[in-house]
Amino acid sequence: MARTSIRALSDDPADIDRIARRYPGGAGRAVLLRILIAALVVVALGWYLQVAVRNSQRPPVEATLTAHWVIDDQRAGFTLQVARTDPSRAAVCTVRAQAQNYEHIGDADITIPPSDQEVVTVDGSLRTVRRADAVSVAGCRLV
């Protein structure tokens, strides 16, 4: 088998220096780029895990509307089922009413007093500017 040798086009140090300046060493840049990408991946993964843990926890208070009815043209009634992680604290839930055309026609802040039970059922009513077609829970918070 014949031996093959590869020779440079020029062994002149001036040519080698000129080529080195034209094509700067990539080894140092490649290492720096890899370190930068690894750092960005670690930061992104940390942020993702933080958001995942925060969103996986149960909210301190949440309410479900189990029933609603029209009392008259100016009032609507509702039943809420409220669950709290700490039932010894009072909560406030905002309930909203909508007309048939989806117009917001009334809302009320309903206070749920402290209790010894995590889940309580609350009946209430709210005033509206005209006949309500739907009632919904806008949100709850501990007070």
Give the residue extent of every domain in the chain. Answer: 13-56, 61-142
Residue of 85 and 28 predicted with greater confidence: 85
Model pLDDT for residues 76-128, shown as the tens digit of each residue: 999 999 999 999 999 999 999 999 999 999 999 999 999 999 999 999 999 99
Q: Rounded CA gap, 11 and 17, in Å?
A: 10
* Cα 27–Cα 30–Cα 35 angle in degrees, nearest 5: 130
Question: What sign does the CA torsion over 128, 134, 136, 138 have?
Answer: negative
Residue 6 has pLDDT above 80, yes or no: no
Residue 34 has pLDDT above 60, yes or no: yes
User: Chain-wide mean pLDDT for the chain?
Assistant: 89
Q: What is the largest CA-CA distance in the chain?
A: 103
Q: Rounded CA gap, 129 and 97, in Å?
A: 10
Beta bridge partner(s), residue 109? 94
3-state DSSP call for residue 110? strand
Of the candidates 90, 91, 93, the one whose C-alpha atom is nearest the C-alpha of residue 78 is 93
Task: For the domain made up of 61-142, give the CATH fold.
Answer: Immunoglobulin-like (2.60.40)
Residue 25 has pLDDT above 70, yes or no: no
Question: Taking the C-alpha atoms of 103, 106, 107 and 110 in order, what is their torsion angle to the nearest 10 degrees?
Answer: -140
pLDDT band at 2 (very low <50, low <70, confident <90, very high): low
